Amino acid sequence: MVRGTSNMSQLMAPRMPQSLETREDLTMERAKWNRSLLLLALAIPVLFVLSFPQTSSAQLPFHVNGNFFFQAGGKFLFNDRANEPFTDFFSSTTGTEPANNTAGWYVGMGLDMPLWELPWGDVIVGTVNIDVGRIEQPRKTFITAQGTPSITAPGQGEDLKQKGGLTTMGVMIHPKYRIAALTTEVNGKLIQPWVIPFGFELQAFAPPSPGLNIFEVGSIFGVGVDMVLTKRLVIGIDNRWHVGTGQTGIDTLNTTVGGYVGIRF
C-alpha cells in the first residue's frame, strides 16, 4: 500500500516543462563564461596602478572636467524571457502568447568625476550611473474572474488579460577612459572618444526569475563620444554592454544604444 501511494505521488508531482529544463541547462553554460568575464573585469583595475596620476583633479584643465548628464535610448536583450512562470505562465505548454520581445527603451542619469590625467594625456574619469528600462510584451496572460491565472478557462475577455512587460534597473560604477590621441576639434567643437574598459553593475528586474530572484550582479563595458558644444554643454552617443553572471538562472545579457546631454563643471 505504501509503495502504491509513493508511485501515485510521483505521477501526480508537477514536472518542469522539457523546454524550460533545456533553457536552464543553456543558461548554466552561459553563466560559466559570464562569471569568468566578470572576474576579469574586476581584476583590470590593477593595471592602472602602474599609471599613478601625475595631476590631481583640482589641477586638471577644463577640457577634462566633470559632467552631469541625462541619457535615453534603446535597450536590447540577447535572450528573451519567454516560457517562464512569471512572464507568460509557461507559454509553450499553456498556449498563451510568449513574452519574446527583446527590444525596448531606457532612460537614466549619471555623474562623471575626473580622477586624473595620465602622463601621455589620457584622462580617467569615475562614473556613477543609474538607468531604468522597459520592454513591452503583448497582453497575454488569461485571468479568471477571481483574478488568478487560469490555464483551463482562457477567453474570459480582453479586459481580463494582464498586460505584460519587463522592467529593468541598473546601478553602475565604472571608469571612463578618455583617449587623448583621438580627441580632435571640429569647427570649434571638442570631440572626445572614450571607452569603459570594465565596471561593476547591480541589475534588478521584474518579473522575477523562476527562482524568485530580482537582482543580478554583473559588469559593464562600452564606448562613446563626447562633443563639447560650449563651455558648459556637452552631448554624446554611447553603446554599453551589460553582462550578468547568470546566478539568477536566466541570461540577462543586454546592450543599450543611445545619446545623452550633459552639463560640464
Name the more confident of 135 and 60.
Answer: 135
| In the chain, domain spans | 18-264
According to the model, what pLDDT value does residue 260 have?
98
Segment 68-95 shows an average pLDDT of: 83
d(CA 27, CA 255): 18
Q: CA–CA separation, 249 vs 24, rounded Å?
A: 7
Q: Measured between alpha carbons, how far is 5 from 1 in angstroms, rounded to an integer?
A: 6
pLDDT beyond 50 at 211: yes
Average pLDDT over residues 131-153: 64
Residues 193, 225 contacting (CB under 8 angstroms): yes
- Distinct helix (H) and strand (E) counts, the chain: 3, 10
Q: Does the domain made of 18-264 have the CATH classification 3.30.465.10?
A: no
Grid cell locating 239: 553603446
Whole-number pLDDT of residue 50:
42
Q: Shortest CA distance to 141 belongs to which of 81, 209, 86?
A: 86
Long-range own/partner contacts, residues 96-101 (CB < 8 A, 24 or more apart)? 96/140, 96/141, 96/142, 96/154, 97/138, 97/139, 97/140, 98/140, 99/137, 99/138, 99/140, 99/164, 99/166, 101/135, 101/136, 101/137, 101/138
Q: What is the pLDDT of residue 88?
A: 73
Q: Which cell goes with 144? A: 479568471
pLDDT tens track for 4-35: 444 444 444 445 555 445 555 555 555 555 56
Largest CA distance in the chain: 89
